[in-house]
Amino acid sequence: MKTPAKMSSLSGLLPLYFPRALAGLDDRLRAHWLVRGAAPRDITVVRRPSLPKAGLLVFELRQGDGSLVIKHPRDEAGAAVTAREREVLQELAADGRLDPWRAVLPRAVGSPGPGGTLAQTALPGVPAEHLILDASRDPYAAMAPALRLLAELRAATGRPRKAADRTSVWCEEQLTVLSGGMPRYGSGRRAAEFEALRHRLDAALTGAVLTEGWTHGDYHPGNVLLDRVPLQVTGVFDWSSGRSDGPCEIDAYSFVLALRSTLTGRPLGSLVAETLRAGRIPDDDRALLALAGLDPDDGVADPVAIPLLSWLWHVVNNVSKSPRFGRSYGWLTHTVAPVLGECARWAGARP
């Protein structure tokens, strides 16, 4: 979708002074305040859902047949997210290998606004998570295009790589961020569980050969847009965790895991812990991974390697977006504790 020149210039017009007096008001009022100097009579501001714990205000500016998505940081963590996403979007735009998929990728518009605000092109389509809950559709068939897209991107940008050669980037950097984002796991029994996670990852990835290439890092049905007729991917957004040299396989498993969590109502942490305990990926998940061109047993001696690495990137993505995650009892209980507990059980069971 071509963005009108008037819309493209909006990022330089956004006044980003944000009075404390408005801090407790509805996001819609905050969004109107932020764009008060950008021809408000010609623009419709639509508040978009955003995680309560996230450090971003996300909304859409609409004008005629063009629109922009605006991400405004609420805090330092949010500013780091928008800065990183801008870098990733610029990398995506410069990578000629991605030309066939240019229409489904957002692009940054203008220069960063004061405070780190990011403006990017809006993409058409319906979030895939909406189709999951559509009773008239087979949720698994509806998700097939999103999984097939991953196979295409992996083929275009990926290459086999020994996981041991990428441990510092794929694991150690992630573990450092996670450790710093969860203060209660800094000592005692919980610290021992965290160390067990490190050992479990090392064991799972020993000898593994994964695909290094463009990795979204937070690929789930809420970040993928689809056209209903014909059913096809029209957009992939929220690239703040993306990188051109990531472990591609985690995107497919993250998507499958989020899909299963939505359909069963079970917490993500419990699903991953169950897979660790069983030592194999469930058959239903294997069928979905096949749509992404993946055999979960190919290239790994330990079948839990990809699920565990996918979970790690997921939780790190959350604590990176907002420190509130690491202090949330509910999030830690449902998403983190089951996996660390299972890692500790595995460590205790070793001879």
CA-to-CA distance for 285 and 287, rounded, in angstroms?
5
Residues 343 and 295 in one domain: yes
Q: What percent of the chain has pLDDT over 90?
A: 63
Residues 189 and 226 in one domain: yes
Q: Is the dihedral of CA 127, 132, 138, 144 positive or negative?
A: positive
Residues 264 and 302 in one domain: yes
Q: What is the pLDDT of residues 175-192, one digit of tens each?
A: 999 999 999 898 888 999
The domain that holds 306 is classified in CATH as 3.90.1200.10
Tell me the mean pLDDT in the region 152-168: 96
Report in angstroms the alpha-carbon separations of 157 from 15, 49, 91: 39, 32, 13
Q: What are phi and psi of 115, to 5 degrees?
A: 90, -5
Residues with Cβ within 8 Å of 265's Cβ and at least 6 positions away in sequence, in order, are none
More confident residue, 112 or 351: 112
Q: What is the pLDDT of residues 46-85, one digit of tens each?
A: 444 444 456 788 888 877 677 889 898 988 888 999 999 9
Range name among 33-37, 213-217, 225-229, 250-254 with the lowest pLDDT average: 33-37
Which residue, 123, 139, 169, sits at the end of a domain?
Answer: 123
Q: What is the pLDDT of residue 111?
A: 86
Cis peptide bond upstream of 145, omega within 30: no
Q: What is the pLDDT of residues 2-53, one digit of tens each?
A: 444 344 444 333 433 333 333 435 676 777 667 666 654 444 454 444 444 5
Q: What is the pLDDT of residues 95-122, one digit of tens each?
A: 999 999 999 999 999 888 768 899 999 9
The domain that holds 47 is classified in CATH as 3.30.200
CA-to-CA distance for 319 and 336, rounded, in angstroms?
11
Residue 318 near residue 336, CB atoms below 8 Å: no
Residue 158 has what DSSP assignment? -
Q: What is the pLDDT of residue 38?
A: 60
More confident residue, 110 or 293: 293
Please return the burial class of 260, using the count of CB atoms within 10 Å of its CB with bins 0-12, 13-18 and 19+.
Answer: middle
Structurally, the chain folds into a number of domains equal to 2
Residues 102 and 219 in one domain: no
Owning domain of residue 178: 127-349
Residue 113 near residue 11, CB atoms below 8 Å: yes
Q: What is the pLDDT of residue 25?
A: 52
Q: Would you call 169 helix, strand, or coil by DSSP? A: helix
Residues 157 and 34 in one domain: no
- pTM beyond cutoff 0.95: no
CA-to-CA distance for 302 and 305, rounded, in angstroms?
6
Report in angstroms the alpha-carbon separations of 63 from 15, 106, 164: 18, 17, 49
Residues 10 and 138 in one domain: no
* Residue reference for tokens 């008001």: 25
The residue among 144, 146, 142, 124 whose CA lies nearest residue 133 is 142
Residue 175 near residue 214, CB atoms below 8 Å: no
Q: What is the pLDDT of residue 39?
A: 54
Which residue, 91, 123, 155, sits at the end of a domain?
Answer: 123
Model confidence at 151: pLDDT above 80: yes
Tell me the mean pLDDT in the region 143-148: 95
Mean pLDDT of the chain: 85
Q: What is the pLDDT of residue 200?
A: 96
Q: What is the pLDDT of residue 350?
A: 61
Residues 64 and 183 in one domain: no
CA-to-CA distance for 234 and 272, rounded, in angstroms?
29
Residues 86 and 146 in one domain: no
Model confidence at 281: pLDDT above 60: yes
CA-to-CA distance for 21 and 59, rounded, in angstroms?
20
